[in-house]
Amino acid sequence: MANDAPSSDQRPNVFLIHCHDLGQYLGCYDFDVETPNLDQFAADGVRFENHFCTAPQCSPSRSSMMTGAYPHENGVMGLAHMGWELDADWMTLPKYLRNAGYSTHLLGFQHEVPDQPELLGYETTDTETKRALELVDVVEEFLADRDDDRPFFVSLGTEEPHRPFRREYVDDELYDRYDADEVEPLPYLPDRPEVREDITALQALTVETLDRAFGQFREKIREAGIAEETLVVFTTDHGIAMPRAKGTCYDSGLETALLVHQPGEIEGGRQYDELVSNVDLMPTLLDLVGIDPPRDVAGRSFAPLLRDGDSEGDEEYEERDQIFGEMTWHDRYNPMRAIRTERYKYVRNFSLLPRVFVPLDVVPTPSGRAVHEEFHVEDRPEEELYDLESDPHEQVNLASDRPMYEPESAGSDPHPEYVEVLEDLRERLERWMIETDDPLLDGPVPYPDVE
């Protein structure tokens, strides 16, 4: 897309603030959790209701944010500390911005490469702490020490609310403020005491660390006198670390918060319902600051939505009618691919191993492990189809009448009313895999050749 691009010294600063494992678990997304700072940010800026990640796990999803490519395209099909990493030759968001005159900085967490974040295109890195509240001082120091007239890009990553939800550096009295009897259950899990215990701890960690820190990040930007010239983006890598969420291609594993604000430019508390993917984030941010996004990546810019306030009459924005999700390796081999439209979700499970993948950081408290295992069966169906209009929490598999959590059942043909939908989505998913040269089409994907 051609832009009337401003010169580099007129471009806004960019703060990309990202956390772990949050999904959309915020008050502004209608969850029963008090997150006043992030909710206010959504009210000041814009919120994307249907923003999804490319993978329900950390490194693969983050690799898509950085490159605009799907994990099986850029090679990050598992965790960076377990052998999968983004090749240094890949063009990334900080590399594009640096080439356009930005200074680029990493504060806190990244997980696209194991131990050399400068390979991603950062001029400076400060990864001594990843805790949200400790990063407030890091941000303040960064802003105070700037001696560069160039616009800057900061990737600011926090570890919260990654498990364990109960942290030794969070005062027990703060956790005690949250009552398990009062929390709202998650609609895709049973309402049991052990599940409520986990939700309560998740709430406490999110509110008392992440949300509080985010409010202070914004305050430091205002105190530095640069709020008007700074684009702030908040997002997360994937869904919350609960059973039937993180590590799955259900909406609860793929849905992610996306909030954007720049005073005078992107504001008004607007909500967008269009389907967008975090593979689109890199080209969108480049577009927003006046840099032509690359055309040879899977991601597409949705900046026209943000410029005009709506998509009506905007011929430059081609709205997505589908998004894709995938998983290959975590600590075990668990290959799956998924396609989601506005109404339907289709999941293809390719697992050839006898045990289903159970991410270690998703396992709840000891009292909740029985629930976890109940919702992660060993013999998943090969295909899953859900009508999200009538079944938003993906409980009734229309690709087979075999009960999802009774693998010993024989199963039968797809629901007769959904045969055409199943065939259509199956074909669309396979076409995408072919077009993107998915190695899974050639058989099991081997683990990286590393120690």
Which tokens hold the place of 130?
Answer: 């990843």
- Cβ within 8 Å of residue 347, ≥6 positions away: 249, 250, 336, 337, 338, 383, 384, 385
The predicted pLDDT at position 449 comes to 75
Cα distance between residue 211 and residue 214, in whole Å: 5
Q: Answer positive or negative: Cα dihedral of 142, 144, 146, 151.
A: positive
* Phi/psi of residue 349, nearest 5 degrees: -100, 125
The predicted pLDDT at position 448 comes to 84
The predicted pLDDT at position 388 comes to 98
The predicted pLDDT at position 380 comes to 74
Residue for token digits 């999804």? 52
| 177-183: long-range pairs with CB below 8 Å, 24+ | 177/204, 178/203, 178/204, 183/32
Which tokens hold the place of 202?
Answer: 């998740």
Domains annotated for the chain, with CATH where assigned, are 11-308 (3.40.720.10), 323-441 (3.30.1120.10)
The predicted pLDDT at position 114 comes to 87
* Phi/psi of residue 163, nearest 5 degrees: -65, 155
SS3 422: helix
Cα distance between residue 366 and residue 370, in whole Å: 8
DSSP label at residue 156? E
Cα distance between residue 27 and residue 35, in whole Å: 6
The answer to whether the CB of 348 falls within 8 A of the CB of 326 is no
SS3 440: helix
Residue count of the chain? 451
Cα distance between residue 66 and residue 297, in whole Å: 11
Amino acid identity for residue 220 in this structure: K
| Cis ω for the linkage preceding 164 (within 30 of 0) | yes
Residue for token digits 């131990």? 115
SS3 7: coil
| Of 329, 347, 327, the residue nearest 338 (C-alpha) | 347
DSSP label at residue 80? G
Question: How would DSSP label each residue in 342-380?
Answer: SSEEEEEE---SSS----GGG---GGGHHHHHHTS-SS-
Which tokens hold the place of 375?
Answer: 């919702």
The predicted pLDDT at position 252 comes to 97
pTM (global) more than 0.85:
yes
Amino acid identity for residue 390 in this structure: S
Burial 165-198 (b: 16+ CB within 10 A, else e): bbbeebeeeebeebeeeebeebebbeeeebbbbb
Cα pseudo-dihedral 50, 68, 77, 102, rounded to 10: -110
Q: Which helix (H) or strand (E) holds 185?
A: none
Q: In which region does residue 225 sit, left (phi positive, over 0), alpha (psi from -120 to 50) or beta (all else)?
A: left
Cα distance between residue 95 and residue 68, in whole Å: 13
The predicted pLDDT at position 367 comes to 47
* Phi/psi of residue 117, nearest 5 degrees: -60, -20
The predicted pLDDT at position 314 comes to 44
Cα distance between residue 238 and residue 257, in whole Å: 9
Which residues face 233 on adjacent strands?
16, 260
The predicted pLDDT at position 10 comes to 84
Q: Which helix (H) or strand (E) holds 128?
A: none
Cα distance between residue 257 and residue 35, in whole Å: 13
SS3 155: strand
Q: What is the pLDDT along the chain (451 residues), one digit of tens a residue?
A: 334 455 556 899 999 999 999 999 999 999 999 999 999 999 999 999 999 999 999 999 999 999 999 999 999 999 988 889 898 899 999 999 999 999 999 999 999 998 889 999 999 999 999 999 999 999 999 999 998 899 999 999 999 999 999 999 999 899 999 999 999 999 999 999 999 999 999 999 999 999 999 999 999 999 999 999 999 999 999 999 999 999 999 999 999 999 999 999 999 999 999 999 999 999 999 999 999 999 999 999 999 999 864 444 445 788 999 999 999 998 788 899 999 999 999 999 886 553 434 444 445 555 455 566 666 555 678 899 999 999 999 999 999 866 544 555 556 678 999 999 999 999 999 999 999 999 999 988 988 876 6
| Cis ω for the linkage preceding 161 (within 30 of 0) | yes
